[in-house]
Chain A
Amino acid sequence: MDLKQDNVKNLDACIKCSACTALCPVAAVNPLFPGPKSVGPDAERFRLEGIEMDIKCLNYCSNCKTCEVTCPSGVRITSMILGARERAKQSKHSDGKTLQHRFRDLVLGRAEYLGRLGTIWPSMTNTVLSISLMRVLMEQILGLSRHAPLPSYHTKFKPQGSFVQSDKQVVYFPGCFAKYNDAQTAQAVVKVLEHNGYQVIVPNFHCCGVPLQANGYFSRGRENAKKNLALMEPYLKAGLPVITSCTSCGLALKEEYPELAAAGAEYIGQQTYDLFEFLWELHERGELREDFQSVPVSLGYHAPCHLKTQGIGTPSVRLLRLIPGVQIQDLDAGCCGLSGSYGFKEEKYDIAMQIGKPLYQSVQQGVAEGRFQTMTTECGGCQVQIQHGSGVKTEHPVWYLIRAYDL
């Protein structure tokens, strides 16, 4: 089956039911976005006729992929939209961005360079970022919303896992957020894996490419992906699992990397695991260390959009429920609104906050009613945004394993 035939059948599957648009978090709040059905499968039939649509409409899609999860017909709506965005960018038409926004997207697309810069002297960076005058300037020069919860920078994650030597090995792909903004979480992931007897290998990966793509730099995104694949290839060939703790990186590795024409692409989808997906499999095989101490805590859980898209369920909820004392409930209250770097942009900040509102309210209500005290979610972006929107502390679920294992 070649790609073209596959695409034809995928578009044929759309029965125009509009469920995607009815449940699209962006369409619900943005009057300028006609919704995924309209810019996805509806417009696709016209694109095949050579009629492209206004790229501005395409740019409003936040790439959260809720539409793909929602679609009862399995239509790859977001992929259609991203594909159209890429073609529109290649064609002679303008991408509809101002010079300022183009520069801003160049910066946001490079979470990696930002990270490297930020982690050279993190306290300095954080101080600068926290000065409101600076944020006003950034908004005016860069188009980064002054209200947006830009993550703070910490000392760059340097894997310290070389102590454990084992014949059980995994590769860990920390992702930019853990690497530059949240090295402690990355370290926690390594500790949990080591506690289970794994040697954790962390090559010096590049950004997974998602931010580049989301900001319109498709070919550069693919270049990054190929570089990463090259770093992983020997391990993949040896059959090592690749573990991600960021759900967006995980999705890219599982969904997009296998489509690259590069060595290793044939293994990467099969061998990539979300951290908790991996741990759950250990549990099912009876190989997980379950020497848990009681952790008396009530948690609200938010499933990141890109975890939902992976189609593995919510293994962290399952796993944390194994820990004595942990109470956890899945809020299922929609997208947090940030979608990577979407919510950092001045023209999209308000949209992002509106998108996330039902979630923030659900979080606040849960806390007010005493159903839980803190939030947990895998995605770094979601953590920042939920905390910003609801004021409730939000952490990666790996921290409860750290406490349970007393590491």
Chain B
Amino acid sequence: MWDGIVIGGGLSGLIAGIRASEKGKRMLVISEGVGSLTYSSGVMDFGDVERLKEEKNHPYALMGETVVRAGMEYFQRLFPDYQGAWQNSQQVLTPLGSPREADLVPTGLNAGVLQKAKEIVLIAPEGMKDFFPEVIKAKLERVYSKAKIEIYPVAVEAFDIWRNSGKLITGMDYAKYWRSDQGAVNLKNILGKLTEEMACSSSGATSGEKQGEKSAIIFPGLAACFSNVLKGVLEEVPLPIVEMTAFPPSASGQFLYEALKQKFKALGGELLVGTGVKKVEFQGKRCHTVIVKSKGKDVTFSAQSFILATGGIFGGGIQVGPKDANESVMGLPLYVPAQWTNSEFLGEQPYAKMGVEVDPELRPLAAGNQEPLFDNVRIVGRLLAHWDPWLDHCGGGVSLASGWLAGEIL
């Protein structure tokens, strides 16, 4: 018998699992595959909390600002490498080189320093998939019009065979390389040589200005977060180094996922990845057992409490057919908007607000009334109704706040 079972191992599920484990609960997380963090950029967006907390039915309105803040602070306590806050947004670079706001950002991704730079060197790791230095350079030149932008190609010998055989080298491959023993040494040399060159070329600049105040390096595919070795290497470089968010799958997102798993396991939690929940058993207003599709047979796990973190449409928590939509695990009632789509793809898409409606303690509501259906089931993350992370840029905020709250009150 477990104290709690979390169904779904993405950001909100793991946060809930970690928080509950920390409070001494025996927790099991069951997840169909890796969560969506692998595709995310690894930064946390909270969106316009002031506005959204007033928006009727929005999870922020339901949970209240205090919980949103608690979720944010909890995450920062877990990962002190993340800077910022929703009242103190940071700038990060998109994979196309545009600066954009983000609320919690791994230190290395903060691009604020570029605003003052007069010289920006864009590292171009050779043959890196989904990375287009010329496009980024053109963009940077428009945004940071006072700075001189230069592309600095970097070839890594370890990838020579990859390039010659036409194999794609992803940002993830580069990131893994830099944090290997050999990669870290190589990185140190590359950065050493580069800073030296930059120092020489700008030696005629106004005296009194330190190099670090006017020059900066942009380093895509580095993802130094969570690596003490890399942090050590970067600390020795006199110039600010700015990472970029990556086209998915992204190393920063993946490393955050790994870090969350490690934290959860270190607290004694068990993680069952690669298996979906087939059925759930209830008695009255309490759920007591989940049945998992293991290989060859079904396996049952029983617990006191359950947290449903299966995600929305993308994560598989909601399954949509040509005629209907269903919550995949418990068959909970769903809020489904009458209008489905709009013609502007990146505009508001009503279907995206589909989800499970809950009470302030995240318990699912029965269709058409305000009574919780179950006492010991809580809904977190993308499965919640009435929000759209892509429109309001609040994906990280809702996931962290609801995950934290569910873990806290388990």
Seen from chain A, the residues whose Cβ lies within 8 Å of a Cβ on chain B are 17-19, 21-23, 28, 31-32, 34, 68-74, 251, 253-255, 258, 268-272, 277, 284, 308-314, 317-318, 321, 329-330, 332, 357
Contacts and interface: CB of A to CB of B under 8 A. Distances in A.
A321 B36 CA distance: 31
Contacts of B32: 72-74
A318 B270 contact: yes
B296 A268 contact: yes
Interface of B: 1, 28, 32-36, 38-39, 159, 161-162, 165, 167-168, 170, 172-173, 176, 180, 248-249, 254, 261-262, 265-266, 268, 270-276, 292-297, 299, 315-316
Contacts of B268: 321
The residue among B162, B248, B262, B273 with the most chain A CB atoms within 10 A of its own CB is: B273
Given A22-B249, A69-B33, A74-B33, A311 B295 contact: yes
A309 B295 contact: yes
A22 B273 contact: no
Contact of A254 (B159, B173, B180, B297): B297
A22 B172 CA distance: 7
A24 B274 CA distance: 14
The residue among A72, A258, A310, A318 with the most chain B CB atoms within 10 A of its own CB is: A72
Contact of A269 (B165, B272, B296, B315): B296
Given A31-B165, A34-B167, A332 B261 contact: yes
Contacts of B275: 311
Contacts of B261: 332
Nearest to A258: B296
Contacts of A34: 167-168
Contacts of B180: 357
Nearest to B33: A72
Given A74-B276, A332-B261, A23 B34 contact: yes
A25 to B, nearest CB: 11
A17 B270 contact: no
A312 B299 contact: yes
A268 to B, nearest CB: 7
B299 A311 contact: yes
Across the A-B interface, the 6 shortest Cβ-Cβ residue pairs: A254-B296, A269-B296, A69-B274, A72-B33, A311-B275, A311-B294
A357 B176 CA distance: 12
B270 to A, nearest CB: 5
Given A31-B167, A254-B295, A268-B296, A317 B270 contact: yes
A311 B274 contact: yes
Contact of A19 (B28, B39, B168, B176): B39
Nearest to B162: A31
Nearest to B163: A31
B252 to A, nearest CB: 12
Contacts of A311: 272, 274-275, 292-295, 299
Given A72-B34, A329-B266, 12 more contacts: A23-B38, A28-B176, A70-B33, A72-B32, A72-B36, A73-B32, A74-B276, A251-B295, A270-B297, A271-B297, A272-B296, A318-B270
A255 B35 contact: no
28 contacts: A17-B248, A21-B170, A22-B172, A22-B254, A31-B159, A31-B165, A31-B167, A32-B167, A34-B167, A68-B274, A72-B32, A72-B33, A73-B33, A254-B295, A254-B297, A269-B295, A309-B295, A310-B294, A312-B272, A312-B299, A313-B270, A313-B272, A317-B270, A330-B265, A332-B261, A332-B262, A332-B271, A357-B180
Contacts of A329: 265-266
Contacts of B35: 72
A312 B293 CA distance: 9
Given A272-B296, A310-B294, A18 B249 contact: yes
Contacts, number: 109
Contact of A71 (B33, B293, B294): B33
A19 B34 contact: yes
Given A269-B297, A311-B294, A19 B270 contact: no
Nearest to A306: B295
A21 B38 CA distance: 12
A272 B276 CA distance: 20
B293 to A, nearest CB: 7
The residue among A17, A255, A284 with the most chain B CB atoms within 10 A of its own CB is: A17
Nearest to B249: A22
B295 A310 contact: yes
Contact of B270 (A22, A271, A314): A314
A88 to B, nearest CB: 20
A270 B294 CA distance: 10
Given A17-B249, A31-B167, A330-B265, A312 B161 contact: no
The residue among A70, A251, A258, A332 with the most chain B CB atoms within 10 A of its own CB is: A332
Contact of B38 (A22, A268, A269, A313): A22
A255 B273 contact: no
A34 B270 CA distance: 32
Contacts of B159: 31
A157 B162 CA distance: 46
Nearest to B38: A19
B262 to A, nearest CB: 7
A72 B293 contact: no
Contacts of B299: 277, 311-312
B295 A19 contact: no
A381 B262 CA distance: 25
Nearest to B28: A313
A318 B301 CA distance: 13
Nearest to B161: A31
Contacts of B270: 313-314, 317-318, 330
A153 B260 CA distance: 41
Nearest to B171: A22
Nearest to A280: B299
Given A31-B161, A68-B274, A72-B316, A17 B39 contact: yes
B249 to A, nearest CB: 4
A72 B28 contact: no
Nearest to A253: B296
A112 B56 CA distance: 67
A317 B249 CA distance: 31
Contacts of B33: 19, 69-74
A106 B162 CA distance: 30
Nearest to A318: B270
The residue among B161, B173, B254 with the most chain A CB atoms within 10 A of its own CB is: B173
Nearest to A38: B168
Nearest to B9: A72
The residue among B176, B272, B274 with the most chain A CB atoms within 10 A of its own CB is: B274
A329 B261 CA distance: 12
A69 B295 contact: no
Contacts of B172: 22
A351 B123 CA distance: 29
A249 to B, nearest CB: 12
A312 B274 contact: no
B82 to A, nearest CB: 22
A258 B297 CA distance: 10
Contact of A309 (B271, B274, B276, B293): B274
